[in-house]
Structure 1
Amino acid sequence: MVRRGENIYKRKDGRWEGRYKKGRREDGKIVYGYIYGKNYQSVKDSLPLYKSKYNNTKEVKGELSINLEEWLYHWLSQNKNMIKESTYSGYKYKIDKYILPVIGHIEINKLTIEDLENMIMTWQDSGLSSSSIRVVFTILRSSFLFAVKKKYLNENICDHIDLPSEKRNKIRSLTLVEQKMLENEARKSMDGLGFAVILSLRTGLRIGELAALKWEDIDMEGNYIYVSHTVQRIPKHNGKSKTKIIYSTTKTQTSIRKIPMSDDVKNWLLKRSNTSTPYIFSNNDTPCEPRLITYHFHKIRERAGLNNVHFHQLRHTFATRCLESRADIASVSSLLGHSSIKMTLDIYADTMMENRVKAIKNMEMMIKTSL
């Protein structure tokens, strides 16, 4: 190509090409933009406008000029060794499924508030719940925060977005009658996975925590169950198999806890303890995966005539029984492994209403008797 002027060249096809700086990559390399014209003068006259746009973008938003897809994969690779494998897999799945199809092609320093608002509306139109929208958007916000910390961007545009309010779906606990019906059916297969149903109802363990439970986690002398790991199936991002089972630490630090055993739970465990397998619920010396426990649970609930009950309701039933027996909210929160007492209060506010009514009646009685 023949060059005339600053960054203006004549191409072999006869057109004139002007090159301007439009940003940098995450490794610091300059990213160039190009404009074309039929003659040298038209290109020369247009270049200042593009250079001005770059300078304005650099000042307001920052220099990072790669599309969002490339940036998010870079961000994931930078954080891969600092997060759990299951967390990484979940992030990548949500990025690929929800973010990239909508705005993945847009350069990161060209993204606008309108782009993000349109993405959220797209998610809503597809039926994505408000809580799921918040989870996915938090991933995007975190990636932008990383870019700001690295000084690739000047601001986190996600901070300007108002997310749809989260509607918490109340999870119904089983009544005492329903619990007895379910336990009666589960007791018929206590040598198998019926015990998983009973154990969840009596300890509040999550299904992944049950699957990960080892005999070494049981303190028969102290009468405690130690909960520190979970088993889950996560998507694979290479190879023939689409998913894989992983055994890892629990979701959060507060999920690591010890749960006192009742006499019944201890006796049931003692009856199963004559085994050489490391896991309480095992499949050829490997942990029994959650979906197998779920499969057997569905069989048990159907025989009990409780077709609309889900496994996670067993955990909520345990919490409800604790609160009904006058357990304090801090103890219940600790038993469940919640991140805060507020979280427990938010979930079980309705369950505690009966206690509040009694508190008011007792207060009124005390006032009347003292007058």
Structure 2
Amino acid sequence: MARKGENIYKRKDGRWEGRYISSRTTTGKAKYSSIYGKKYEDVKRKLLQKKVEQISDFTISKRTIKAEKYSEWLAYWIDKIEKKRVKKTTLSIYSRLVEVYINPSIGDLLLNEISSKKIDKFLEELQEKDLAPGTVRNIFNVVKKSLVDAYQQGYIREFPCKSVQLPKLIKHEVNTLTLAQQKKLECTALKETSCSAIIIALYSGMRIGEISGLQWRDIDFDEDMIYIRRTVSRIFSLDSVQTKTELTVGSPKSASSIRKIPIAKNLKNYLQEKRKNATSEYVIESSKELTEPRTITNRFKRILVETNLENINFHTLRHTFATRCLEQGMDIASLSKILGHQSTKMTLDTYAGSLMETRRKGISQLDTLLEIV
């Protein structure tokens, strides 16, 4: 039996068969062709690639698009419209959300059948899966953007997302290391022969992808600056049917992420010492090449085991850096620039809880004005 909306079947000979619309008659009747493979996943990926190639081979008329499934419009939208507007990493995220969440639920609907009620029901189903409100919002944003373009280009008569109610975002306090935990982690990290991504993260606040892409030429030891010029990501593959993921090196996530970070004395000494024995142009090296984020994460997990620290991910180091800066009295505007946030509001919203110690000091200072008669 085929899985709903996919047109993929297991044959009697053990192979999987995927069917797709290869052409249409003058009356609009679909003509099908097939793709075969030993594994279901292989056929599914080849089928998706075939649909994208089909869309690239001819211009879809508005009449045809209106009669097509929403999944086919999404494939066209990603490959022909959104591909020109967003970075490859963002496009990969969109494709993943479409494959995992959107197509299995509403991809089988015709484009002109999408309505507010059906989107509301779709969002309810997502919430029943216990997805985080932020994830639900990200999925909805893909649906909304694709339908905005469908509406603006005249493929649908009404925009169906106007009255949709999204779940409220729940803000959680960021997870940070205590000073004792940080020192324990540092002691182990400092034993590494090559440059440690942990030390860089704790004393610069850089993201894991930025650390992965950091080259020695990005560090100006005369001006005491680190220049953030690139980021490394492992993304869902858009072009290949042979591999599920691919490594990409690109510019940082936003204009504000392209920045420079001052280097303090101890970090500068540490980096200069590691530079002497470096065998790669990349600061975090692996076989003389860059070390991808996945490898950095695996190394980090091994060190966590050694130090008996739990429930910590690599991004916690960035949060810890920000918290230490605030504890030492750094102003929000400066911290926001160092972290590469798009606004000081984002920094305040993220680290409001970390300002508690600053509030306590302020209240204590104010309390000295109180004179008990």
The answer, yes or no, to whether TM exceeds 0.5 is: yes
CA contact (8 A) 2:174 2:351 kept: no
CA contact (8 A) 1:258 1:335 kept: yes
- 2:260 paired residue number: 258
CA distance in 2, matches of 1:145, 1:85: 21
Q: How far did 1:364 drift?
A: 4.7
Q: How far did 1:159 drift?
A: 2.5
Q: Which amino acid aligns with 2:129?
A: S
CA distance in 2, matches of 1:92, 1:308: 29
Q: How far did 1:360 drift?
A: 3.4
Instruction: State the TM-score, normalized to the length of structure 1.
Output: 0.79
- 2:216 paired residue number: 215
Q: SS at the partner of 1:246?
A: strand
Query: What value does the CA root-mean-square deviation take over the aligned residues?
Result: 2.3
CA contact (8 A) 2:215 2:282 kept: yes
Q: Which amino acid aligns with 2:284?
A: F
Asked if residue 163 in structure 1 is aligned to residue 196 in structure 2, the reply is: no
Q: SS at the partner of 2:162?
A: helix
Q: Which amino acid aligns with 2:203?
A: R
Q: How many residues align?
A: 315
Asked if residue 131 in structure 1 is aligned to residue 134 in structure 2, the reply is: yes
Q: In 2 relative to 1, CA 229–303 (structure 1 residues): closer, same or farther, beyond 3 Å? A: same
- 2:251 paired residue number: 249
Q: Which amino acid aligns with 1:72?
A: L
Segments of structure 2 that go 5 or more residues without pairing to the other structure are 1-26, 29-57
CA distance in 2, matches of 1:118, 1:280: 49
CA contact (8 A) 2:256 2:341 kept: yes
Q: How far did 1:278 drift?
A: 1.5
CA distance in 2, matches of 1:328, 1:211: 28
CA contact (8 A) 2:212 2:290 kept: yes
Q: How far did 1:26 drift?
A: 8.0
Asked if residue 302 in structure 1 is aligned to residue 335 in structure 2, the reply is: no
CA contact (8 A) 1:141 1:159 kept: no
Q: SS at the partner of 1:351?
A: helix
Matched ranges for 1:78-117 at <5 A: 78=80, 79-117=82-120
Asked if residue 286 in structure 1 is aligned to residue 289 in structure 2, the reply is: yes
Q: How far did 1:246 drift?
A: 0.9
- 1:340 paired residue number: 343
- 1:15 paired residue number: none
Q: Deviations 1:193-226 (Å, cap 9, x if unpaired)?
A: 6x11111001111111110001111011100001
Q: In 2 relative to 1, CA 28–286 (structure 1 residues): closer, same or farther, beyond 3 Å? A: same
Segments of structure 1 that go 5 or more residues without pairing to the other structure are 1-18, 32-62
- 1:174 paired residue number: 177
Structure 1 moving runs of 4+ over 4 Å = 366-369
CA contact (8 A) 2:62 2:155 kept: no
Matched ranges for 1:1-371 at <5 A: 27-28=60-61, 30=63, 64-78=66-80, 79-189=82-192, 191-192=193-194, 195-237=196-238, 238-274=240-276, 275-366=278-369
CA contact (8 A) 1:231 1:287 kept: no
Q: Which amino acid aligns with 2:234?
A: R
Q: SS at the partner of 2:199?
A: helix
CA contact (8 A) 2:234 2:248 kept: yes
Identity across the alignment (%):
35
Q: How far did 1:366 drift?
A: 4.3
Q: How far did 1:28 drift?
A: 3.5
Q: SS at the partner of 2:341?
A: coil
- 2:36 paired residue number: none
Q: Deviations 1:173-195 (Å, cap 9, x if unpaired)?
A: 11111111110111111x236x1
Q: Which amino acid aligns with 1:156?
A: F
State which drifts further: 208-217 or 238-247: 238-247
Q: Deviations 1:274-293 (Å, cap 9, x if unpaired)?
A: 33521111223431011111
- 1:42 paired residue number: none
CA contact (8 A) 1:217 1:227 kept: yes
CA distance in 2, matches of 1:74, 1:204: 39
Q: Deviations 1:11-59 (Å, cap 9, x if unpaired)?
A: xxxxxxxx99xxxx9843535xxxxxxxxxxxxxxxxxxxxxxxxxxxx
Instruction: State the TM-score, normalized to the length of structure 2.
Output: 0.79
CA distance in 1, matches of 2:59, 2:360: 59
